[in-house]
Amino acid sequence: MSEASMLLDYMKEHNNEFLDVLREAVYLETPTEGDKKDLEKCRDYFATIFSDIGFKCKVVPSEDSRYGDHLLMELGEGDEQVLFVGHYDTVYEKGTFGDIWKEEGTKVWGPGVLDMKGGDVQVYMVAKALKELNLLPENKKIVFFLSADEEAGSYSSYMHYAEQAKKSSAAFVMESTRGDYSGGLKIGRYGRGNYTFVAEGKPAHSGQEPENAESGLKELAQQAVYLESLTDLEKGLAVACTSLQSGHAGWPTVPGDGMLTIDARFSTAEMAKEYDKRFKNLTPFNSKVKITTNGGIEKPPFDENDSKNKAIYKKAKEIGKEFGMEMRGIITRGGSDGNFTASVGCPTLDGMGMSGDFVHQPGKEYINTSDIAVRGAFVARMVLEVLRG
């Protein structure tokens, strides 16, 4: 029997175990900035089940009071390692999803079932399969860093991913495939910049002397139109205004100050650098209004054209054929922790988690249970290919 067949049979035989473990994790609701006790219960649950199959588990403090702590889990010994990337926080406040767990046909619904507790449980099943089938290479290591603040932007965890990625032969990001297609992957992600422009002008009475105002509101409105006009999706640039605050409704005053915030997405590091400089040196339309820029690049691009990323995607397409899957990679403007692993030169493959849909949508987010076995077996084979070199 081939290795692929062994792994697929194992995953099929343990399909119910996968669902039992996932159900427990989903019932432990974990809003990113929720009750620390709730986050701790879920963190400890993952630490317990991974410890039970031989992982060394260490709590990594977030050092940010808004978020829960992270987990560093390691299986095996040696300097060569594969890094799994995951998070256990979700966007849902407790009780907002409706039914915590619902099964019907080949679908399961629940808060975070797709993004991304399903992917976290995949790591558990992959490691368990490799151990029980005696396939885990000697003197090699599986590392799983499980964070608690990804949905907020990974402000307290990104440096840990970068640190582990520098030591890893590959990083597998267990985010969802994006959609129902069984062979889906994410092979590139735009970088993200978040900028706030603060205007300082001169207020004036809006009835008696509006002509004497140096309007911060007008300045920022003009900047908003200009900044969004920079969007060029073919080039790989997206700029969207997300907030404009200036003045008070009903007050007879032309406001002198205000704040405008944009979300900018870049497909390449060169583009990110170019527009970061432009945003930090914005020229006012009205020279009498001062503009100060706060913020900067939050996530570096995950470049699909990097030779290391292209090579691991090529390998994934070869492995997919062993399971009758045509692997198809997409590039998305949404970011993940894969942006951090790819940016330090670690070959990165994203969207390695479950298939399903309606991420971040209360009552709708689901996974396809019919893909549990084949997705798990595929990930296990990818681990072996990387660790065997």
> Smallest Cα–Cα separation from 85: which of 371, 343, 362?
343
Residue 360, Ramachandran bin (φ over 0: left; ψ between -120 and 50: alpha; else beta)? left
CB distance 68 to 152 below 8 Å: no
In this structure, the number of other CB atoms found within 10 A of the CB of residue 94 comes to 14
pLDDT digit string (tens) for 2-24? 999 999 999 999 999 999 999 99
Q: What does the mean pLDDT of the chain come to?
A: 97
pTM score of the predicted model:
0.92
Percent of the chain whose pLDDT exceeds 70: 100
User: How many CA atoms, within 13 angstroms, populate the side-chain half-sphere of residue 226?
Assistant: 13
End-to-end CA distance of the chain: 22
Res. 329: pLDDT tops 90: yes
Going from the C-alpha of 251 to that of each of 72, 202, 243, 247, the distances in angstroms are 54, 15, 20, 8
Strands 70-76 and 328-332: unpaired
DSSP state string for 353-383: S--EE-TT-TTT-EEEGGGHHHHHHHHHHHH
User: How many CA atoms, within 13 angstroms, populate the side-chain half-sphere of residue 265?
Assistant: 22
Q: Look at residue 1 in the predicted model and tell me its pLDDT.
A: 85
Q: Look at residue 361 in the predicted model and tell me its pLDDT.
A: 95
Task: Summarize the confidence of residues 158-177 as an average pLDDT.
Answer: 97
- pLDDT level of residue 98 (50, 70, 90 thresholds): confident
Q: Look at residue 5 in the predicted model and tell me its pLDDT.
A: 97
Give helix then strand counts, H and E, for the chain: 10, 18
- pLDDT level of residue 287 (50, 70, 90 thresholds): very high
Percent of the chain whose pLDDT exceeds 90: 97
**Is the Cα dihedral 76, 327, 377, 154 positive or negative?**
positive
Q: Give the 3-state secondary structure of residue 133.
A: coil
Q: Look at residue 92 in the predicted model and tell me its pLDDT.
A: 96
Q: Look at residue 244 in the predicted model and tell me its pLDDT.
A: 98
Backbone angles phi, psi at 297, to 5 degrees: -75, 125
Q: Give the 3-state secondary structure of residue 47.
A: helix
CB distance 112 to 30 below 8 Å: yes
Q: Give the 3-state secondary structure of residue 10.
A: helix
- pLDDT level of residue 212 (50, 70, 90 thresholds): very high
Res. 389: pLDDT tops 90: no
pLDDT digit string (tens) for 22-57? 999 999 999 999 999 999 999 999 999 999 999 999
198 burial level (CB within 10 Å; 0-12, 13-18, 19+): middle
Q: Look at residue 194 in the predicted model and tell me its pLDDT.
A: 96
